Amino acid sequence: MICNLCPRKCNAKRNENTASGFCRCEDKMKVAKIAPHLWEEPCISSENGCGAVFFSGCTLKCVYCQNYEISHENNGRFISPQELSEKLRELEESGVHTIEFVSATQYVDKLIKTLDIYKPSVPLIYNSSGYESIETLKKLKGYIDVYLPDFKYSDDKLAKSLSKCDNYTKVTLNAIEEMLSQQPALSFDEDGIIQKGVIIRHLVLPSHTKNSIGVLKLIKENFADRVLVSLMGQYTPYGKALELDNLNRKITKREYNKVLDELIRLDLDGFAQELKSADESYIPKWDY
């Protein structure tokens, strides 16, 4: 197949043995972990957790990614749509409140085939870098209940430096607008579990509070009260970030509070992590 699923538009040749695109993913779907996950936002995980499917590979490959072994090195095992559909059924039967697809962009066509075989009745969540093409998102219409995009950068120079991506901001703004066109209203069940809508995550990076404040302002200007915002303080230096002066440490309390104050000033509704979540124990153990 020739792949243009992400905004990089690689025209990549992908088959069972070839992976020529930026993500270096073959045509076959690959996963690193399928298991209940307890550490998402309260309206996603609640008591029983979220059933998480962590896909191997990534279309962004940020230098500081805490999932480096699977996002950069593409570690995992191949799985067919039929097999994944059976795993989704098992997750649903285990009692999870939601099921979450983490970094699935490069396998969207295979994911849709999976959901055509079996679509769980619990809310389905698309956890994304935010760097998505409109065409690919439109394929997901009717399949995804909740979109959970990152909004990483308000500064495209920083995006270029850390994610080799010089058009991140505009692309992500357009992508989130498409997500909202599909799921325009937030809704929750009687237990507070999200059923529909969009939650935007932002990870605060050390030495880059200006970027974070810029992201929050863009969210306010463009999406206001149509979304929830999840401010994340869990940054832990990992992978290539350990070699970079500005990224080889955790964020300080002062840095986090500076961004948190802006979240409050802008009156953005949502969630804010505690800084104690910045610990390697919160990084999933990959069992492939």
CATH number at residue 145: 3.20.20.70
Residue 140 lies in a domain: yes
What's the number of domains the chain is made of? 1
Residue 5 lies in a domain: no
Using alpha carbons only, how large is the chain's radius of gyration in Å?
18
pLDDT bin (cut points 50, 70, 90) of residue 209 is very high
Residue 287 lies in a domain: no
pLDDT (mean) for 280-288: 65
pLDDT (mean) for 43-64: 96
Residue 213 lies in a domain: yes
pLDDT (mean) for 166-176: 97
**Host domain of residue 243:** 24-282
Low-confidence winner among 120-124, 262-266, 272-276 (lowest mean pLDDT): 272-276
pLDDT of the residue at 275: 77
Q: What is the mean pLDDT of the chain?
A: 94
> Is the pLDDT assigned to residue 218 strictly greater than 70?
yes
Residue 28 lies in a domain: yes
pLDDT bin (cut points 50, 70, 90) of residue 279 is low
Residue 9 lies in a domain: no
Residue 88 lies in a domain: yes
CA-to-CA separations, 48 to 7, 12, 118, 233, 278, in angstroms, rounded: 35, 40, 22, 23, 23
pLDDT bin (cut points 50, 70, 90) of residue 270 is very high
pLDDT of the residue at 277: 58
pLDDT of the residue at 19: 78
Residue 12 lies in a domain: no
pLDDT of the residue at 280: 59
